[in-house]
Structures are given as structure tokens and as C-alpha cells.
Structure 1
Amino acid sequence: MGQMIRSGNEAWFRVEDASAIGVARRAAMALAGTLGFGQVARERVGIAVSEAASNLVKHAVEGTMLIRPYPDAPAAVEALALDKGPGIADLNRVWRDGYSTAGTLGIGLGGIARMAAAHDVYSIPGRGTVIGMCFTADERPPRVSRVSGLSRPIGEESVCGDAFACFDTDETAMAMVCDGLGHGELAAEASRRALRTFQEHGELPPVPLLERLHRALDGSRGAAVAVARLDRASGLVRYAGIGNISGWIVNPEGRQGLISLAGIAGRHSRTLREYTYTAPPHSMIVMHSDGLSARWDIAAFPGLTSRTPAVVAATLLRDAGTHRDDACVLALKVTP
């Protein structure tokens, strides 16, 4: 099945004052060191992350950063900067002129792009910006990822009760989102059980896999769980879920909802059922827990479906996420 891309090891930072810049820089450089980056490569990561964090402090509203191993290449560092600030009216000017906003280190987004092995930016004037950066020890770009996800705990919790996982190959992809009931350690343990079961049995069709997940969660707090299997050649999506995981097939013109049945995996459920759909080329499958409102409208995000899965997931988490619950969102491209 290939490597499993999953939640875990995410470190979230509020970036609201100057002291947070050093915290984010040190965390990114420390992670790079554990992944085998040399001194020069670590410093490159630190400079780019500092610049992104400085921009958040100077201009952002609700600025946050996520730093983690790159899910699709664990020997790389991924950093995401999210804000609800003024946005960038002309991204082409930012790259072309090496534009740097006042009060930052002076390298600008163009400098960040040169230091990162891969990068992506999505910005809407008046609504904010999401910057995705990936760093490798040798500066070679990682393979283009077709799937990514984010999980964020409620408030000051240190663990998240929501989780995602995906096996992705050129032919098929199998994705799961799990929302452990409540939050805290007991919810996180339910999601860890689901992740272990998915890793062991992710080759199964959706309903047999969901049955395995239901049994594995027996005795836990229980969870809402949904799984989707994508056949890339045909665009066929097979979907099954228990509980309030939201699933969508998304394209620039709109979205189609995917059906989950009522219940709680590990406790009680109705007879499980698989539903089939056809995803158009260049669409995406988006799955998320109820830590995100289901009322988001893709028409309010012009051009978002062309961005990388990590930036798509981060944008939806920023704008549809609630801080009153754990949150998790996964974005899977149907075609590269």
C-alpha cells in the first residue's frame, strides 16, 4: 500500500508578539536537526521561518504557525503560516520584486521561496494569507503531494482527539478521518486505535474496513469515523462513515456531500453501507471533523482548489475551524 500519511507530531504556535518568532525558529531548527539537516541547512530553515513569523507579528490577525515533519517525506520539515490579516493584493509583485514588508528581516516572500525546497501561497485581500513551506537537507524538492491534512487540539490541550490518515498510490488512495468523542487523552486514544487499525487493514474496501474500526474502538470512548477509497483512473469514490464526519467532492464550481450514517464507532451503529460517487478530474476529496463548520462555500475561495493539499486544508481550518473543539481536515487531489 505504500507509506501511510497521517496526523501526529504537529506543533502549533500562536504568533502574536515578537517573542513567538524565536520560539518558532528554534522549534523548526530543532526538528531539522533531528531529521539530519546540517548546520547551514538548519540555519536556512530558521531564517525562512523567522521571516514568515515576523510577517505574522507585524501584519497578521490571529497569526499561527504549524511546524512538523513533512507528511509525504518525513525527512523534510514543513511549516505553515496562517493569518486573517490584510492579505496580499498582488502576489506576482511579491515574487518579482523581492518585496519585503516593513519590520521583517528584509528577505520577503521571494527570499522564503528561494530558501524552501517547495512553497505555496494562497491569499485573499482583506481575509488573510496561508503560506506553505517545505525544507529538505539538500534543497531538492520533495515529490508533489496529492494529499495532506491538519489536526489541531482544542484550546490549550496538548493532544488532539481528531486524526487523519491516507495511503496514496498512483492507482488508488484510501483516506480516513476520525473524531474521538470529546477531547483530551481519552479521545486521542480512540483515534490512535483507529490509526493503528487503518495501518493494518487499509487495503480493505470501505465497509469491511469500517467494521474493523468499529470493533477496534470497542471499549474506548468511541469516535466518528469515515473512510473514502478513490480509484484515480475512473474517478470512482467509495465512501462509508459512522457519525458526523463531513465528506465532500469539491471543484471550483461547487461541492457534493458524501453520506455518513448516524452512530458512534465502538459503541453503536446502524447497518453499515457504502455509497459510490464519481469525482471529476482535477477535483478534490475533502473530509473533516465537526471541529470545522460544514457551512463553508468553495465559491468564497477563488482558486483554492488549484493550491497544494496542505494549503487547502490550512485555509479551510483557518476560516471554518472552531476553537471550541478539536479539529481535523484532510484534502486529497483526485488527479495531480
Structure 2
Amino acid sequence: MRADVALAAAARRQAAQLARGVCFPEDLVARVELCVTEMATNLLKHAHDGSLALRVVRTGGRAAVECLSLDNGPGIDDLPRALLDGTSTAGSLGIGMGAIGRLADVSGVHSLRGRGTVLQARFWADGQAPAPRPVEADGLTRPIGGEQMCGDTWTVRTVSGHGPEALLLMMCDGLGHGPLAARAAERAADAFRESTRTNPVDVLQDIHRNLRGTRGAAVAVALVDAAAQRVHLSGVGNVTALVGTADTRHGLLSVPGIVGVQMPRARAFEAPFPRGSALVMHTDGLSDRWKPADFPGLFAQDPVVVATQILNQAAVRRDDAGIVVAAHGQR
């Protein structure tokens, strides 16, 4: 939802609908409404341009409502002070960013002076955030302007036989945009979830078979193994993949081709995955020229904040955009 004079009311209605849809009690619905209203008011008062994203997050049979605020500046000069409970931004409801963090079960904020701020608030139906896992993953997609359906998608699943410290991730860019691209992306996600294999090359072959008859896609599949501190990736088409830390970037290659149409022989590439690093995969709806050093403090954040800020700064308007981040341990 783009920032305009109707944003606060529209966001409040949608947030309440999402919260009631996953059986939040009314007092928790009210907390979510208060949070998104403050986010919307801050965008209108202070941001050059911005938007709100609201969604339901599900994991392990549990549900949460997540609120994400992102803008293009001017940033927050004194972030520690802004995060103090009771410190209000001018013209807002007066609860302040610190109170948003208190209201939410999980929250995060990252601000770049002159470039933009991302604020996250997640509310779990039972009021309890899950215990941190060795590898946490999250992502975000955004359709091209004028479209409701997005041809980019991401998904994550646990890896049988590898323990809790390994995850399998997929980033997919259906060719073009609109309903046909979205159909290809949905078919890729279905094949990824249904595959019983864990080697990225094998999973990519399963996706290729399921995409026959569609316009095809660029797809990357990665196995992140925290115990072994390695990433194994196989990709076909223009999907950017890298392992980054606060100031380093280790790229992983994909080979040319179209999954589902013209599939070359898939190859696997490896990279170190030390504690404190993150795997980032994104489509060509984001510029690949960004560097971790351009985002001071970002890689210490929750994966969804990392994904949202990179999308916020690097996405292009003329294409669908998608990104997924897997972070190794508390950073």
C-alpha cells in the first residue's frame, strides 16, 4: 500500500481483517491496528515516498501478522533515541517507534541517512515468538507497477536427514510478468515443496519437469548447512546469489538457460557459510550492484528486515522483484 492520505484507514482495516482471519483475540487486533496506524502516520509526516506491506506468516502450525514499513528517506538521525519507549515522532499518535517494538512480539528497524528506513513488527497469535533457530530465512516479493500478480516467488523448506541446522531455499523469476509469469512461479514452488530430494541440482531437475508447458523461469535452489558452514547452490537463469557479511560478498554463479524450456546441464557451486553470514538470493528485478558495505548495520537484523531494505534500495520499477535471505545464527 503506497503512502497517501487514505493509508492509515486502509492499513488499519486490512490489518484487522488479517488478524481476525487467523483468530487473533480482539485486544491483540487492537494492538496490530495501533501499530499500523502509527507506521502509516510516520510515513505521511516524514517520508519522501513510502509504503506499508501487511501479511500473514505461518510456521510450524502457528500464525503471525507482520507489518512492514519502508520508505526512501530522509532516514532517522538519532535512531537510539527514536527507539526509546515514549519518544514520539512529530505529528504522530504519540506512541513512538519504541512503543511499536514493545507492542510487537518481534520488531526490527534499519535506517540509512538520506536513503530510507525499514520498520518491522510481527504479532504472533499466541503472543510468543518461536525460539531462534540456527538458520533463519525470510523473503519478500513485489509485482511490477500496475500488476496485482507477481511472477517472482520464493520458498523455504526443512531438509530431512540434515537436522535443524539446514534449510533448502528456492528463488524463482517467471519469465515476463503478469498471470503467465505468476503461473510458472507457482508451478516451480509446488515442485520445490513436493520434491523429496535435497541436492540442489536434483531439486532443480524436478522443477524443470514441472515447468514444461509454461513460459519457463529463472530458478536458483540452495542448501544452507549451518553445521557444515557451507552453502550449495544450483541456478539456471538470471538469479543473483551471494553469501554476505557486514562488509564482504562472495558470489555464487548460475548458468544461462530457462528452466522448463531450455534447461542446460545444471551445475553446483559452493561457498563458505560462517556464523554471522547470510545467503541472499534475488531476481533481476533488483540491481545486482549493491554491496553489503552500502548497508551499515543491516546484516545484524532479522532476515526479513535485510530482505526488505535491499529490495527497498535496489529494486527497479520496470519489473517484478523478489528476494530471500537465510541468516546463520544471531548476528
Q: TM-score band (shorter)?
A: over 0.9
Counterpart-to-counterpart distance in 1, 2:226 and 2:23: 35
Q: Residue 259 of structure 1 corresponds to which residue in structure 2?
A: 253
CA contact (8 A) 1:222 1:266 kept: yes
1:213 to 207, 214, 218: 207
Q: Deviations over 1:278-299 (max 9, x none)?
A: 1222100000000000001111
Q: Tell me, which stretches of 5 or more residues in structure 1 are unaligned? A: 1-12
SS in 2 for 1:265: coil
Counterpart-to-counterpart distance in 1, 2:56 and 2:200: 28
Q: Residue 4 of structure 1 corresponds to which residue in structure 2?
A: none
Q: Tell whether 2:52 aligns with 1:58.
A: no
CA contact (8 A) 2:315 2:321 kept: yes
Report how far residue 334 of structure 1 moved: 2.3
Q: Tell whether 2:21 aligns with 1:27.
A: no
Q: Deviations over 1:84-133 (max 9, x none)?
A: 12211222212335211111111111221121111000012222110010
Query: Which of 89-98 and 63-72 deviates more?
Result: 89-98
1:123 to 107, 111, 116: 111
Query: Which of 140-149 and 299-308 deviates more?
Result: 140-149
Q: Residue 8 of structure 1 corresponds to which residue in structure 2?
A: none
For residue 141 of structure 1, what is the amino acid of its counterpart?
A
Report how far residue 275 of structure 1 moved: 1.3
Report how far residue 29 of structure 1 moved: 0.8
| TM-aligned CA distance change 1:331 to 1:178, over 3 Å | same
Query: Which of 203-212 and 64-73 deviates more?
Result: 64-73
Q: Tell me, which stretches of 5 or more residues in structure 2 are unaligned? A: none
Q: Residue 6 of structure 1 corresponds to which residue in structure 2?
A: none
1:68-107 pair list within 5 angstroms: 68-72=55-59, 75-96=63-84, 98-107=86-95
1:125-140 pair list within 5 angstroms: 125-140=113-128
CA contact (8 A) 2:85 2:99 kept: no
SS in 2 for 1:76: strand
Q: Deviations over 1:19-42 (max 9, x none)?
A: 111101110111000000111111
Q: Residue 328 of structure 1 corresponds to which residue in structure 2?
A: 322
Query: Which of 139-148 and 254-263 deviates more?
Result: 139-148
Q: Residue 150 of structure 1 corresponds to which residue in structure 2?
A: 140
Counterpart-to-counterpart distance in 2, 1:95 and 1:151: 28
For residue 228 of structure 1, what is the amino acid of its counterpart?
A
Counterpart-to-counterpart distance in 1, 2:248 and 2:152: 26
The TM-score, its normalising length taken from structure 2, stands at 0.94
1:167-186 pair list within 5 angstroms: 167-168=157-158, 170-186=164-180
Q: Tell whether 2:234 aligns with 1:240.
A: yes
Report how far residue 143 of structure 1 moved: 3.8
CA contact (8 A) 1:224 1:265 kept: yes
Report how far residue 195 of structure 1 moved: 0.6
CA contact (8 A) 1:117 1:142 kept: no
Give the paired residue count.
323
Report how far residue 188 of structure 1 moved: 0.4
The TM-score, its normalising length taken from structure 1, stands at 0.93
CA contact (8 A) 1:41 1:138 kept: no
Report how far residue 234 of structure 1 moved: 1.4
Q: Tell whether 2:102 aligns with 1:114.
A: yes
Counterpart-to-counterpart distance in 1, 2:181 and 2:196: 21
Report how far residue 71 of structure 1 moved: 4.6
For residue 322 of structure 1, what is the amino acid of its counterpart?
V
Identity, in percent, stands at 44
For residue 160 of structure 1, what is the amino acid of its counterpart?
C
Query: Which of 259-268 and 227-236 deviates more?
Result: 227-236
Please list every run of at least 4 consecutive aligned residues from structure 1 whose deviation after the TM superposition is greater than 3 angstroms: 71-74, 142-145
Counterpart-to-counterpart distance in 2, 1:322 and 1:71: 28
Report how far residue 141 of structure 1 moved: 2.6
Query: Which of 270-279 and 32-41 deviates more?
Result: 270-279
Report how far residue 136 of structure 1 moved: 2.1
Query: Which of 167-176 and 179-188 deviates more?
Result: 167-176
Q: Tell whether 2:179 aligns with 1:189.
A: no
Q: CA RMSD in A?
A: 1.4
For residue 205 of structure 2, what is the amino acid of its counterpart?
E
Report how far residue 202 of structure 1 moved: 5.4
